[in-house]
Structure 1
Amino acid sequence: MAGLARVFGSGAMTNSINDIEQAGVLLVTGSNTTETHPVLAAAIKRAVKHRGAKLIVADPRRIRLTQFAHIWLRQNPGTDTAWINSMLHAIINEDLLDHEFVDNHTSGLDRLREHVSKYTPEYAAGITGIPPEDLIKAARMYARAPAASILYTMGITQHTSGTGNVMALADLAMLCGNLGIPGGGVNPLRGQNNVQGACDMGALPDVYSGYQKVEVPENREKMARAWNVKSLPDKPGMKLTGMLAGSGENAVKALYVIGENPALSDPDAQHTRKALQDLEFLVVQDIFLTETASMADVVLPACSFAEKDGTFTNTERRVQRVRKAIEPVGHSRPDWMIIQDLASRFGFFMHYQSPQDIMQEIASVTPSYAGINYSRLEKKGLQWPCPHQDHPGTPILHSQGFAAGRAGFQCVEYTPPEETIDEAFPLWLTTGRSLYHYHTGSMTRKIRGLNALERECCLEVSPQDAHKAGLKDHDRVSVRSRRGEITTRVRISSAAVPGAVFIPFHFAEAAANVLTNPALDPVAGVPEYKVCAVRIGIVD
C-alpha cells in the first residue's frame, strides 16, 4: 500500500483532467465544483450532457451540481466514511466487485468483507440520513461502470476523519478496479494554483521533495550532499496547527509565514490571533498586507506570479512553465531571491542564478521530477512521475499495477465528528468558498467587480429553518459556536437543507473560522473546518 498511500497523501490526482470526460460514472463528493473549480465542473457537465456519463453527488448541501446528478446522496455532515462503507457492503453483497483486479492487485478482501458487514444500507442510513435504496442504487451504478472516477476536495479531507475518508474512497476504487485505467481514479481537485507544486517540493513537515521521508537515512544523506551540509534532522518538523498551539515549554517563539494568512484561515481564529500576538518575532512574506501581515514585525514584499519566472504544478501533476510578464512592482522580489539572501545572512550561502538553476537541483534529487527541465517544458507541461529525460510523463498512475506490489484494503471505521448538535447549538455549520472570492480574499476582495457581485458575508439558511427562526432575507444575525461569535446577514437559499447552515470563509469582518473547530485529524493534522455546531439569533 506504500505507493498508493504516498500518492493519496500527496493529494495528487491519479488520472488526468481529460479523463473526466471518459468516465462512465462520476462520483463527486465534498466538492462544490461549479463554484470552486468551474473549469473542471464544465468538464463534468459535458460528460453528463454530451457523453452519457452518470453522475453521483454526495454533499450535505444542494449544490448546483445536484441539478445534473442522477443520484444525490445528502449525508449528514461528517458521516462520509459510513456511506462509503455502505457502498462497499452493497458491492460485495451483490458480487459486483472486479474480481480480476482484486485478485491480481490487492490484499485483504476477506478482512474488508468482514469489516463492512455491519454497514448495511439500513445501518448506514441511521448514521448518514441517506435512504437505503439510494445507497444501493449508487453502489450499483458505480460498480457496473466500465470506468468510474471519484472527484473530491476539502469537504472530504477537512474532518477529524479526513484521512480515513480518503482511504475509504481508495478502497471503493480498488474494489471496482477503477485505478490505472482511463476514466477512473481517485482524484482530489487541488484548491490553489500551485499547492500541488508546493507539496511536491517538500512544503510538508515530514518529507523532502517528491515525498521522500525525512526518517529514511538514505534520503537525508542524499539531500545533505546536495546542500553541502554535514547532516540533516532525522525527525519530522511541526505542522502549522502545532506551531500555533500556544504558550508552553515547546512553544514556537518566532514564525516566518510565506503566502499564508493563518489569522483568517486557521480554525478557532481568536485563539490563532492570540498565538500570533504572543510570538516574540513574526515575519510575513506576501504580495498584499494580509490580516496576518498586519500583525508582523517585518513584512517582506514578494512578487505575484506575473512578475517572476518558474514553474507551477497543477492538480493533475502537470509541471508547467510560468514566465514573467511584467517587472516586479515597487520593492517586491521573487520568493527565491528573498530566501536566498536570508540564508546567506544566516551563514548558509546559496548560489542560484535563476529559477532554472533551482529546477536543475530539483531534478537531481527528486526521482519523480528527474526527467523534467526547462527545455522540455518550453511548449507543454509534463506530468510526474517523469523519471528520466526520455520519459513522456505519466497521465495515469498505476497503469502497470502498484509499485509496491499489492495494495491492501484499509478497512476504515466510521468515527463521528468531534462535536455534535444539541439544544444549545442545534444547527450544523459547514464552511467553504463562493464563486466570486478566493480563500481569505487577500486578492479577490481588492477587485471592484467581484465585490459588486458579492460584497459581504451571508449565512446560507434553508427556507424551513428560516421560517422556524422567524428570519427574513438580509436580516442581521449572530452566529455562535462553542468558540466564538460573528455577525452577518441571512441569505435564504434552496441550496441549504434543514438543520444545516453554510458560511463562506472569505470575509474578515465575519470570519467563519472564529466559529470552526480546531480538532485535528490524528494523521494529517488537518482541522475539522467542515462541521461544527452553532446557534443563530436575530440582532436588533
Structure 2
Amino acid sequence: MTNHWVDIKNADVVLIMGGNAAEAHPCGFKWVTEAKAHNKAHFMVVDPRFNRSAAVADFYAPLRSGSDIVFLGGIINYLLSNDKIHHEYVHNYTDFSFIVRDDYEFVDGIFSGYNEQARTYDKRTWDYELGEDGYVRTDPTLQHPRCVYQLMKQHYASYTPEKVESVCGTPKEKFLHVAEMFASTAVPGRAATIMYALGWTQHSTGAQILRCAAMVQLLCGNIGVAGGGMNALRGHSNIQGLTDLGLLSASLPGYLSLPGEKEQDYQQYIASRTQKPLR
C-alpha cells in the first residue's frame, strides 16, 4: 500500500478493481464507508462479478476476466486525449518531459530490443537519452516527439472507448463514467484511491496491470497525497505488518534487502541501493 488503511477515508473517489474488500477485508472496508459518509466519496467497483463490494457501491461496471489492462489503458487514453491530467504534478513528479533514446520503437506489438530466438528483450533502447552532463535530456514543453508524454499518447491512442467496449464487454457509457470520475481528481484538492487484491496480482500479466493503474494515478496526481495511492488489499495483521515492521527474515522495512557478506559498513550497503538522480 502506498497509503494506509485509515487514509482511505480522505478519498473523493474510490475504485475497487481486482478485489472484493467488503467481503474479504471487512475491517479495512469501514474506511471506504467513512469516505462515503463524511467525504461524499464516489465509490466504484469494476469486476467480472457483481460481488458484495459492488452491492454497496455507488457505481458498478462489468468487464471480462483478464481484460483489465485494456480497461485501464482506455482510462489512460481518455486522460491524455482529453487533456484531463494534473499538469503541475506530472511536470514536477513524473518523467513526462524525459526524452527517450532515438532507437526505441514499438511496432506491431513488439518493443525494440526483442530477440526472437531467445524470446527476451534487451531493454537498453528503452532508456532515457542523456546529455553531456550525464543527466536526462528533457523537454518542458512536452512537444519533443520522443518525450514520454508524446510516446504515451501514441502508444495508448488505440485504447478508445469503443475498443474497451469490444474487448472488455463493458458498456461504453459505464467505462466513460469511470474515466470521467478519475479525470475529476486531476486537480488540486481532490484524490482517488485504487484498491486491489489477488484479482490483479495473480494474473500472468499482474505486474503490467499494476503498472497501468499506477500510471492512471500518476496522470491524475494521486500518488503521494492524502486519499490517493495504489493500495493492495493485504492481510490486516500478517503480510502488511510483517513487511512494514521488519519481521520478514529476508528483508528490512521498506523492502530493503539484507546486507551481503562484502557490505561491512553503511556506506557500502547504501551505495549499491541508491539510484543516481536523473535530473
Tell me the TM-score normalized by structure 1: 0.37
Partner letter of residue 180 of structure 1?
Answer: G
1:212-223 matched pairs, under 5 angstroms: 212-213=256-257, 219-221=259-261
SS of 1:88 mapped into structure 2: helix
1:169 to 213, 219, 241: 213
Counterparts of 1:157 and 1:405, CA distance in 2: 30
- Distance, in Å, in 1 between the alignment partners of 2:225 and 2:42 is 18
Alignment match, 1:77: 65
Contact 2:18 2:199 in 1 (8 A): yes
Corresponding residue of 1:140 = 180
Taking structure 1 as reference, are residues 222 and 209 closer, same or farther at Cα in structure 2, changes over 3 Å only? farther
Letter of the aligned partner of 2:193 in structure 1? S
- 1:196 offset after TM fit, Å? 2.7
Give the aligned residue type for 1:182.
Answer: A
Aligned counterparts, 1:164-313, within 5 A: 164-191=208-235, 193-199=237-243, 201=246, 208-210=251-253, 211-213=255-257, 219-221=259-261, 225=264
Report the 3-state secondary structure (helix = DSSP H, G, I; strand = E; otherwise coil) of the residue aligned with 1:118: coil
Where 1:92 maps in the other structure, the secondary structure is helix
Show the 5 A alignment for 1:318-337: none
Deviation at 1:209, TM superposition (A): 2.7
Instruction: Give the alignment's TM-score, normalised by structure 2.
Output: 0.69
* Aligned-residue identity in percent: 33
* Alignment counterpart, residue 30 of structure 1, candidates 6, 11, 18: 18
What secondary structure is seen at the aligned counterpart in 1 of 2:260?
A: helix
Deviation (angstroms), 1:70: 2.8
**Residue of 76, 81, 84 corresponding to 1:93:** 81
Q: Are residues 149 and 405 of structure 1, via their aligned partners in 2, closer, same or farther at CA, if it must alter by over 3 Å?
A: farther
Larger relative contact order, structure 1 or 2 (CA cutoff 8 Å, min sep 6): 2
Alignment deviations for residues 394-452 of structure 1 (CA, whole Å, 9 cap, x no partner): xxxxxxxxx87679xxxxxxxxxxxxxxxxxxxxxxxxxxxxxxxxxxxxxxxxxxxxx
Q: 1:163 & 1:179 partners in 2: Cα distance?
A: 18
1:251-275 deviation line (CA, Å, top 9, x unaligned) = xxxxxxxxxxxxxxxxxxxxxxxxx
Distance in 2 separating the partners of 1:96 and 1:27: 18
One-letter code of the match for 2:163? Y
Distance 2:153 2:160 in 1: 12
Q: Which amino acid aligns with 1:85?
A: G
Report the aligned-residue RMSD: 2.8
Greater per-residue helix proportion: 2
Aligned partner of residue 227 in structure 2, secondary structure: coil
1:14 partnered with 2:14: no
The aligned counterpart of 2:31 is: 43
1:131 to 154, 171, 174: 171
Name the structure 2 match of 1:270. none
SS at match of 1:28: strand
Query: Residue 334 of structure 1 corresponds to which residue in structure 2?
Result: none
Counterpart Cα distance in 2 of 1:404 and 1:122: 42
Give, in angstroms, the shift of residue 188 of structure 1. 0.8
Match of 1:112? 152
The verdict on how the C-alpha distance between 1:137 and 1:199 changes in structure 2, with shifts beyond 3 A counting, is same
- Summarize the Cα distance change of 1:111–1:154 in structure 2 as closer, same or farther, 3 Å threshold: same
**Does the Cα contact within 8 Å between 1:48 and 1:68 map onto a contact in 2?**
no
| Residue identity matched to 1:110 | Q
Residues 466-477 of structure 1 mapped to structure 2, 5 A cutoff: none
Q: How far does the alpha carbon of each residue in 1:135-181 deviate from its partner, in whole angstroms, 9 at most, with x for none?
A: 11111111212111111111111100111111111101000000111
CA contact (8 A) 2:23 2:53 kept: no
Q: Which has the larger radius of gyration?
A: 1
* CA distance in 2 between partners of 1:404 and 1:188 (Å): 28
Matched-pair contact (CA < 8 Å) for 1:209–1:366: no
Say if 1:147 and 1:181, in contact at 8 Å, map to a contact too: yes
Using a 3 Å threshold, how does the CA distance of structure 1 residues 404 and 156 change in structure 2: closer, same or farther? farther
Give the gaps of 5 or more residues in structure 1.
Answer: 1-12, 227-364, 368-402, 408-540
CA distance in 2, matches of 1:143, 1:185: 15
Number of equivalent positions? 216
Q: Aligned partners of 1:18 and 1:143: how far apart in 2? A: 24
2:46 to 45, 58, 64: 58
Instruction: Name the one with the larger strand percent.
Output: 1
Structure 1 CA distance, aligned partners of 2:53 and 2:276? Answer: 37
Instruction: Output the amino acid matched with 2:195.
Output: L
Contact kept, 8 Å, 2:15 with 2:195, in 1: the verdict is yes
- Displacement of 1:193 in angstroms is 2.4
Report if the CA contact (8 A) 2:183-2:220 is conserved.
yes
CA drift of 1:68 comes to 2.9
Change (3 A) 1:405 1:21: farther
Q: In 2 relative to 1, CA 17–48 (structure 1 residues): closer, same or farther, beyond 3 Å? A: same
Q: CA deviation at 1:73?
A: 2.0
1: distance between equivalents of 2:15 and 2:159?
A: 20
- Cα offset for 1:97? 0.6
Structure 1 residues 404 and 173, CA, compared in 2 at 3 Å: closer, same or farther?
farther
Letter matched to residue 252 of structure 2: S
